[in-house]
Amino acid sequence: MANYDVIIIGSGPGGYVAAIRCAQLGLKTACVEGRETLGGTCLNVGCIPSKAMLHATHMLHEAEHNFAKMGLKGKSPSVDWKQMLTYKEETIEANTKGIEFLFKKNKIDWIKGWGSIPEAGKVKVGDDVHEAKNIIIASGSEVSPVPGADVTLDEKIIISSTGALELPKIPKTMIVIGAGVIGLELGSVYSRLGTKVQVIEFLDKITPGMDGEVQKTFQRILKKQGLSFTMGAAVQSVTAAKNKASVTYKLRKDDSDHTAEADVVLVATGRRPYTDGLGLDALGVDISERGQIKTDAQWRTNVPGIYAIGDCIDGPMLAHKAEDEGMACAEVIAGKHGHVNYGVIPGVIYTHPEVATVGMTEEQLKEAGTAYKAGKFSFMGNGRAKANFAADGFVKILADKTTDRILGAHIIGPMAGDLIHEICVAMEFGASAEDVALTCHAHPTYSEAVREAALACGDGAIHM
């Protein structure tokens, strides 16, 4: 039991970053975490392990499809599934241990166990009650149930992303419910491992909310890679038999009923805030209808001294959004001016090719009645992409028609998740497309495609 300036509940990217920033700002800080390891969903069962699996299977795909073309002959690698899972586990361990090291370095106490808030200023973990002038709730999110369907996860045959990262063997067939980020990333992993993957999606387009042109190109590329799509289909039920699961769904266009079977069903229909056991009801913390903790623009809840950040509040459920809120919230507590620009938060899907997006889509600009111009450049015109068999996709920059100020960018192509940040920085500086177009870009790089898209907003791209 000790007295702290700040106690943070949850050590995911929101919580651990908030803790480090609090400590850097001279606040006596503790972080409560009930898992065996720090890092939350992202490091333990989310972003990091899935990226390890995406990397390993992308390497396999390159070996199977592109090595021979480059004159690299010989037996292509076969999959040692056990070793691939070990590689994933080692990746997790390296990252979670890294956070432990950073906690020690910054003199942050890790209070092990699940925390609750009996009253403002107090955090209870086990039988101990710790005092804190400020409490930050960073308790994250959990898998949400399939809307309108009765589905029970067993994490063996009917699985969430967590189960998908530790299947005992590679399934022959997999049904993915939901063509969102999780479904397409993990669907890609298994498709590359030889699993026949069928994606069942409620809407008529994949990755809801993304730029329409990106959605179309992305789906075409994924189909070419072997994923099949059943669109406009509302899943009604999922049942597991001995070694199989069956999914019933209704096609929305004609209300017809269908059944599909697979070895494994991955449920990827979204996540919801996780605030169980914190005692928020008794405290009187305001919660929205969607289960999100309500905060003001500086992450204060309605209860003085209690803040909330990350997946358990409003906004996109993204690790980097939570990190930014963590830093900014720490600064507010320390009496500084913490700020997050919600207009410039990139979103990335780590398939191959990657998909990355920031700012407004064409659809949103049309709806808002904003006059805009679109500069587009295909990776077919990019020398580096052609050399690397990575010329599928494009960069699209959207700029204000009159002022040329960049309003958004949408990239599908190699390293899109890294390329997008040039546009993020440009947008933070209120740059015009011409500012990017006039900036010298090294040749030959994928980044040249970004410059060419900016040039296409003006007098025209060079290599198109």
Residue 371: C-alpha distances to residues 12, 125, 395, 400, 435 (Å): 40, 54, 20, 6, 19
Contacting residue, 57, 269, 357, 432, with ligand NAI by CB under 6 A: 269
Closest contact distance (angstroms) between CB of 143 and ligand NAI is: 7
Contacting residue, 181, 265, 280, 355, with ligand NAI by CB under 6 A: 181
Residue 242: C-alpha distances to residues 155, 239, 246, 263 (Å): 14, 10, 11, 10
Structural contact between residues 424 and 341, judged by C-beta atoms closer than 8 angstroms: no
Q: Which residue in 65, 258, 339, 443 is the catalytic one?
A: 443
34 contacts ligand NAI (rule: CB under 6 A):
no
| CA–CA gap between residue 135 and residue 7 (Å, rounded) | 5
Contacting residue, 171, 178, 359, 375, with ligand NAI by CB under 6 A: 178
Segment near ligand NAI (CB under 6 A); pick from 21-29, 73-81, 180-188, 436-444:
180-188
Q: Of 247, 295, 289, nearest to 272 (Cα)?
A: 289
List of residues 6+ apart from 418 with CB closer than 8 A: none
- CA 289-291-295 angle, 5° bins: 90
21 contacts ligand NAI (rule: CB under 6 A):
no
Active site residue 421: no
Site string for ligand NAI, 319-358 (x = CB under 6 A): -----------------------------xxx--------
Cβ distance to ligand NAI smaller for residue 53 or 108: 53
| CA–CA gap between residue 150 and residue 174 (Å, rounded) | 19
Contacting residue, 38, 108, 138, 179, with ligand NAI by CB under 6 A: 179
| DSSP conformation class of 144 | P
Contacting residue, 125, 165, 235, 416, with ligand NAI by CB under 6 A: 235
Tokens of 93: 């361990």
Other CB atoms within a 10 A radius of the CB of residue 133 amount to 15
Beta strand pairing call for 406-413 and 394-400: antiparallel
Closest contact distance (angstroms) between CB of 253 and ligand NAI is: 14
| DSSP conformation class of 61 | H
424 contacts ligand NAI (rule: CB under 6 A):
no
Closest contact distance (angstroms) between CB of 206 and ligand NAI is: 7
Q: Of 394, 417, 399, nearest to 362 (Cα)?
A: 399
23 contacts ligand NAI (rule: CB under 6 A):
no
Which residue of the chain is nearest ligand NAI when measured via CB? Answer: 180
183 contacts ligand NAI (rule: CB under 6 A):
yes
Largest separation between any pair of C-alpha atoms in the chain: 69
42 contacts ligand NAI (rule: CB under 6 A):
no
Contacting residue, 318, 415, 416, 433, with ligand NAI by CB under 6 A: 318
Segment near ligand NAI (CB under 6 A); pick from 131-139, 196-204, 351-359, 452-460:
196-204
> Which residues inside 126-165 make contact with ligand NAI, applying CB under 6 A?
146-149
Contacting residue, 49, 140, 180, 413, with ligand NAI by CB under 6 A: 180
> Which residues inside 372-401 make contact with ligand NAI, applying CB under 6 A?
none
| CA–CA gap between residue 251 and residue 231 (Å, rounded) | 8
Tokens of 406: 């960049």
Total residues contacting ligand NAI by CB under 6 A comes to 29
Cβ distance to ligand NAI smaller for residue 115 or 346: 346
Cβ distance to ligand NAI smaller for residue 122 or 421: 421
Contacting residue, 79, 170, 203, 283, with ligand NAI by CB under 6 A: 203
Cβ distance to ligand NAI smaller for residue 66 or 288: 288
Closest contact distance (angstroms) between CB of 318 and ligand NAI is: 5
Closest contact distance (angstroms) between CB of 217 and ligand NAI is: 17
| CA–CA gap between residue 65 and residue 68 (Å, rounded) | 7
| CA–CA gap between residue 22 and residue 460 (Å, rounded) | 48
Tokens of 88: 């994933």
Q: What backbone phi and psi angles, to 5 degrees, belong to 345?
A: -115, 110
Q: Give the containing element (helix H, strand E) for 39.
A: none
Cβ distance to ligand NAI smaller for residue 239 or 439: 239
DSSP reduced 3-state for 345:
coil
Is-cis flag, bond preceding 353, omega within 30? yes
Site string for ligand NAI, 68-87 (x = CB under 6 A): --------------------
Other CB atoms within a 10 A radius of the CB of residue 192 amount to 24
Residues of this chain that bind ligand NAI (CB under 6 A): 146-149, 177-183, 185, 200-203, 208, 234-235, 268-271, 316-318, 348-350
Catalytic residue set: 443
